[in-house]
A and B are shown apart, each in its own frame.
Chain A
Amino acid sequence: MNTASRLPSPASTSPGGGVALRCDGLQRYLGVGEGRVHVLKGVSFEAKRGEVCAIVGPSGCGKSTLLYLLGLLDRPDGGTIAINGEPMSNDDDDARTAARGAHIGFVFQFHFLMLEFSALENVMMPMRKLGRLTSAEMEARARALLASVGLGEKTHRLGTQLSGGEQQRVAVARALANQPAIILADEPTGNLDAKNSGVVFDLLTRLAKENGQAVVLVTHNPEIAARCDLTRPMRDGVFV
C-alpha cells in the first residue's frame, strides 16, 4: 500500500473536529525479565489543535514514555493512537515514519541538533525528507522560521557555535518546519535557564497557536505547566 496515500492531512488542511491526536488505553512495559516494569497502565488522552497541554508528574511516572508513544517513536503493548482520526499505532514502520515526518514535530530536552549542520540546514532537514517544497522554498521557509525564533542573523552558524538557548530555538523552528498538526516537546526548557525557558516556551506556544497546532509538552517546571491551556498530572503510569 502506498504510504503517502494513507497519511492524515497536515495541520493546515485537516478536517474539523479539533482533535489532532488521540490515544485510548495505552499500555507499555519496559525492560525484560525481572526488570520488566509496567510503565503505562491504560492511558487515554487527546490533544486539540491550538491547545497547549502539559503532562506533569514525578520522574519515572511514564510521561516521556507516553510522549514517545504519541510521537510514534515507540510501539505500545496495548491501546490505540490516532492522528487526525486515523489509527496509526499498529501500522508498519514506514507508515509510522511517514506520519511522523508529515504530522509530528519534536522538541527534545537536549536540543538534539545535528551539530555538523548549520541552523538553516537543521531546519531544512525535515523539509528535504518530506519533499513538498522546492529547494528555494525550503530555504525561504527555514529562514522565516529562524527569524521568527530570533535567529535570523545566525542561520549559517553550526550547532556547535550556538548557545543552549539558541540551539533549543533552532529545535523549535525545526519542529515547525513541515507545519505538523502536533508538536511534542519533552522537557523543552529542562536544560535552559529561566530567561531562555520563558523565551522558548513563548515561541513554541505562540507559533503553535498561530498555526493551529496541538502542543503536548512534558515538563517538571510548574511555572511552565501553569501557563499551558491544560495540565494533565501523571503518577505511576496513569493520569490522576
Chain B
Amino acid sequence: MSPNLRIAFRFLTAKKRAMLMSLSCTVLGVGLFIVTQATTSGFEKFFIKAILGADGAVRIEDKIQNTLRTVSAGNDFAVREKEGRKYIDGVEEPRLVIEGLREFPNVIGTSQVIRQNVLVSSAFKNRDSAQVYGINIDEHIKVSDLDQHVTSGSLDDFRQTLAGALVGRELADRLQLEIGESFLVDVRNSPPRRFRVCAIYETGVSDIDKVRVYIHMGEARSLLKKPFGVTFIQVALRDAARAQEEAAQMEETLGYSAKPWQRREKVWIGVFRALATSSGITVTVFTLIASLAMFNTLAMIVLEKTKDIAILRSMGYERRDVTQIFLWQAGIVLVIGAVLGSAFGAVGTWGVSKIPLELHGIIVTKTFQVAPAATHYVAAVATAVVMVMIASVIPARRAARLEPGDIVRGTAQ
C-alpha cells in the first residue's frame, strides 16, 4: 500500500460518522440511479417488444409516385410544377414487393395485411368501432408474436374456422365476448357478416388490444370487397434495431413507403426517452447530495488535520502528496460506494420487478417492468465518480496549498 493511500485510509476511518454519511449518500445515489434507469427503460423495452411483436419492424405501404418536376425548355422558358411526392394507398402487387424484400438479407419474414375500419356489434353492445385485419395466419405469425399473445382459445381453431376471428382482450371485454361466441362486423355498403371468436389475444399495447380483430385474408377480401392488393406488408427483421436504415433502402429500391417501427412509434418512444432523462436528472440529485456530503467530510478533515498536513510537509511530503491523500479518501468512498451502490441497485431492481402494478394505459402489465443493463451501472458509477471527484478537488487543493510554516506558527488561513 502506498504511503499516501495508507494515510488517506486512516484519516477517513478516524472520521467514521462523516465517512459513513458520505458513503451512504454515494450508495443511495448509485443504487437509485440504477433502479430508476432499469424501470424507465424496462417500460420502454416492454413497449418496443410489444410493438415489434404486434406490428413488426417495418411496414411497407403506399406506393410512392414522384410528381412532375420543373422542366427547363431553354431561353428562360420552363414548365413549372410543384416538386414533391405523392402516395397511392396500399400495395397493388404484393407478390412483386415480397420478391423484392427477399433480396434484403436482414428480412426474415413478410405478411400481407388488409386493414379497414369497421363497426362491430355483440349481444351486449352495438356498433362499436374496430379495425379488421385480414391476414394469412401462418404467414403472419412469422412476422409477429401473435401466437404468443393468445391468452384464451386457440390458433388451430382459428385456422380451421373460415369465419373465425382473433379478438383483442380489451375489445372482447367491451363487447363481453367469450370464446365460441359470435359478433357482427358491419362495413359500409355491405351487409353485416357474423364471425366467431376463436381466440382472444393480448399484446400488452392497449391501442391494439382495444380495436383490432384478425380474420382470414379470404374473408377479409370478400367482406371489404378488395379482391386485389393489400393495405400493407408487415416485415420482420433479424436485427430490428437496423429498421430505419433497412426501411430507407426498401423505399429506394421498391418504390413504396417503408415505415420503420422507430418512425411509427416516434411519439411514444420520445415520451419514454424523456421520462428516462427526467428520472436520470432527478436521481443525479442524489449523487449531487453524495458529492456535497463528500465535500463536507473532506473540508472537515482538512480543517481538523492542518497540523498533520504540516507534519507531513515537514517530513518531505509534497503538495501533490497532500492532494493525493485527500483524493484517495474520496476514491475509497467512491469504490466502496460504487460496489455497495451497484449491489443495492441490483437488489432494488429485482425487488421493484416483483411489485404488482396493474397498468392499462398505452401498455398493459401486471408488474413493474425492469430492464437491467450494464450501461446503467456504468452510467451510475461514472456520474458518481465525476460528481464526487469534482467535489473533492476543492478541499484537496486547499489542503495542498496550506503552508507548513503558517500552520506551525498558527497563522494558517
Contacts and interface: CB of A to CB of B under 8 A. Distances in A.
A73 B318 contact: no
B262 to A, nearest CB: 57
Given A112-B310, A116-B10, A116-B11, A129 B408 contact: no
Interface in B309-339: 310-319, 321
A93 B3 contact: no
Contacts of A73: 310, 313-314, 403-405, 408
B308 interface: yes
A130 B314 contact: no
Interface in B1-31: 3, 6-7, 10-11, 13-14
Nearest to A103: B316
Contact of B308 (A65, A71, A74, A114): A114
A125 interface: yes
Interface stretch (A44-52, A94-102, A205-213): A94-102
Contacts of B307: 110, 112
B14 A101 contact: no
Interface residues of A, number: 32
A97 B311 CA distance: 12
Given A106-B314, A112-B307, A130-B316, A68 B405 contact: yes
A97 B313 contact: yes
B82 interface: no
B409 interface: yes
A186 B319 contact: no
Contacts of A93: 318-319
Contacts of A129: 3, 315-317, 321
A97 B316 contact: yes
Nearest to B311: A112
A64 interface: yes
A100 B14 contact: no
A74 B316 contact: no
Nearest to B320: A94
B407 to A, nearest CB: 9
A125 B2 CA distance: 11
A201 interface: no
Contact of B408 (A94, A101, A178, A186): A186
> Is the contact region of chain B dominated by helix, strand, or loop, or is it mixed?
helix
A25 interface: no
A128 interface: yes
B316 A100 contact: yes
A104 B409 CA distance: 18
Contacts of A98: 316, 318
Interface string B389-413: 0000000000000011110110100
A161 B317 CA distance: 25
A74 B307 CA distance: 15
Contacts of A108: 408
A126 interface: yes
Contacts of B3: 125, 128-129
With a 10 A CB-CB cut-off, give which of B3, B6, B308, B315 has the most chain A CB atoms: B315
Contact of B318 (A97, A104, A113): A97
Interface string B178-195: 000000000000000000
A68 B319 CA distance: 17
B300 to A, nearest CB: 15
A102 B316 contact: yes
A110 B6 CA distance: 24
B189 to A, nearest CB: 91
A100 B315 contact: yes
B408 A114 contact: no
B10 A64 contact: no
A16 to B, nearest CB: 25
Nearest to B308: A114
Contact of A71 (B13, B314, B411): B314
Nearest to A74: B405
A127 to B, nearest CB: 9
B408 A126 contact: no
A94 B317 CA distance: 9
Nearest to A65: B409
Given A116-B14, A117-B10, A128-B3, A68 B408 contact: yes
A93 B403 CA distance: 10
Nearest to A108: B408
Max chain B Cβ within 10 angstroms of own Cβ: one of A71, A97, A112: A97
Contact of B315 (A65, A68, A117, A125): A125
B27 to A, nearest CB: 24
Interface in A33-67: 64-65
Interface string A76-104: 00000000000000000110011011101
Contacts of A104: 314
Nearest to A128: B3
Contact of A126 (B7, B308, B316, B318): B316
B264 to A, nearest CB: 64
Contacts of A112: 307, 310-311, 408
A100 B403 contact: no
Given A30-B411, A73-B310, 8 more contacts: A73-B404, A73-B408, A74-B409, A97-B316, A102-B316, A112-B311, A116-B14, A128-B6
6 contacts: A73-B314, A73-B403, A94-B319, A114-B308, A114-B311, A125-B7
